[in-house]
């Protein structure tokens, strides 16, 4: 047999690079549906390609866990090969675009809506402007960090984190404080003590739908039950409700501090400090694009530290 014929046989025995890259995406996102959306295909196709890869490698690359799809030992080795392919293709793409440092591909980020709008969006836009071939999907949801594989590369969450299969990266602290609109203060006056807050309408999250308890009115015994409440799942709706005079609101300082429409209420008597975290699985943290997103977020938070201190 000629050398080129032996080479052809050997190449046919190698796993498909496309299938390896699909496995890498599954390792990062953890859900076939999310992978299918990212790659523009179907759940059935992803499942079929993983089965083909398993057959080619002679064993299972993924196994079910309570938290979603996780890599087997064979799968982890295959992902290392896939990461090498991804890096090589990234270098080639950069060479074609005459910018070898450019990032490409898709990064999916989940974030709370307030932090997402004020900090995450500017950081991601700046990163994308520096890397025009990088695509970004940002999903807004106020939730605690997912114990399951969440279908995203990176989660930005607030409050306590309790997750064992991912790494948490501290970004900053911010404060929830009490605010009223200047019009409300002129018409109704402001409370002189925390007990007096109960004589006013109160604006906050819908308690029954709230996953992050620290954001809600009931989490602290310091705040009395109000005479009436305006609850919304969107922090933007809460800010607008306070602006329109619905009552006193428990709002993130970085969204309203220093704005003339808002008056601090009992600033010396009440505040609630919450941390902001970036959370990612190990496979995602090895992605250059995810690392770049985290670096851009840190830069944004550092540049606007005064706003967070509020």
pLDDT tens sequence across 173-224: 999 999 999 999 999 999 999 999 999 999 999 888 877 778 888 777 778 8
Cα separations (Å) of 46 from 30, 35, 202, 309? 12, 8, 48, 46
Contacts 24+ apart (CB under 8 A), 192-195: 193/266, 193/269, 194/222, 194/223, 194/224, 194/266, 194/269, 194/270, 195/224
Higher pLDDT, 215 or 123: 123
Cβ atoms 257, 172 nearer than 8 A:
no
Are the CB atoms for 159 and 212 separated by under 8 Å?
Answer: yes
Which conformational region is residue 226 in: left (phi greater than 0), alpha (psi within -120 to 50 degrees), or beta? beta
Interatomic CA distance for residues 174 and 303, integer angstroms: 14
At 175 the pLDDT is 94
pLDDT score for 305: 87
Given this model, what pLDDT does residue 11 score?
Answer: 52
Model confidence pLDDT, tens digit, residues 237-264: 999 999 999 999 999 999 998 899 999 9
The model's pTM: 0.72
Q: Helices in 30-152 by DSSP H: which ranges?
A: 32-39, 43-57, 73-96, 113-115, 121-130
Cα distances (angstroms) measured from residue 83 to each of 26, 78, 149: 13, 9, 19
Closest CA to 61 of 21, 106, 3, 118: 21
pLDDT, position 150? 61
Pull the structure tokens for residue 235. 């922090």
Per-residue model confidence (pLDDT) at position 144? 64
Please report where in the chains the tokens 């992050």 appear, as a residue: 212
- pLDDT, residue 242, reads 97
69, 149 Cβ separation under 8 angstroms:
yes
**Sign of the alpha-carbon dihedral angle for 189, 190, 193, 194:** positive
Between 295 and 29, the more confident residue is 295
Please check the confidence at residue 56 and state whether its pLDDT lies above 80: yes
Give the largest Cα separation in the chain, rounded.
94
Pull the structure tokens for residue 100.
């070898």
| Lookup result for tokens 């071939």 | 133
Q: Could you tell me the pLDDT band of residue 286, with boundaries at 50, 70 and 90?
A: confident
């Amino acid at each position: 047999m000629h050398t080129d014929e032996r080479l052809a046989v050997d190449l046919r025995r190698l796993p498909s690079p496309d299938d390896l890259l699909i496995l890498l995406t599954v390792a990062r996102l953890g859900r076939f549906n999310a992978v299918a959306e990212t790659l523009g295909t179907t759940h059935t196709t992803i499942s079929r390609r993983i089965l083909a890869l398993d057959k080619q490698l002679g064993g299972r690359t993924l196994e079910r866990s309570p938290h979603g799809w996780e890599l087997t030992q064979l799968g982890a080795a295959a992902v290392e090969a896939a990461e090498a392919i991804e890096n090589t293709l990234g270098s080639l793409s950069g060479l074609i675009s005459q910018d070898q440092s450019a990032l490409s591909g898709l990064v999916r980020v989940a974030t709370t809506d307030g932090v997402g709008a004020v900090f995450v969006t500017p950081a991601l836009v700046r990163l994308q402007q520096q890397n025009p071939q990088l695509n970004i999907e940002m999903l807004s949801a106020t939730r605690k960090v997912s114990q399951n594989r969440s279908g995203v590369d990176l989660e930005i969450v607030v409050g306590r984190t309790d997750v064992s299969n991912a790494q948490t990266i501290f970004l900053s602290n911010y404060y929830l404080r009490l605010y009223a609109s200047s019009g409300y203060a002129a018409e109704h006056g402001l409370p002189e003590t925390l007990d007096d807050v109960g004589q006013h309408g109160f604006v906050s999250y819908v308690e029954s739908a709230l996953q992050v308890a620290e954001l809600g009115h009931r989490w602290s015994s310091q705040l009395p039950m109000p005479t009436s409440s305006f609850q919304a799942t969107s922090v933007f709706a809460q800010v607008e409700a306070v602006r329109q005079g619905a009552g006193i609101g428990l709002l993130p300082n970085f969204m309203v501090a220093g704005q003339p429409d808002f008056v601090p209420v009992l600033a010396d008597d009440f505040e609630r400090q919450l941390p902001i975290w970036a959370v990612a699985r190990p496979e995602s943290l090895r992605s250059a694009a995810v690392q770049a997103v985290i670096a851009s977020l840190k830069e944004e938070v550092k540049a606007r530290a005064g706003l967070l201190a509020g």
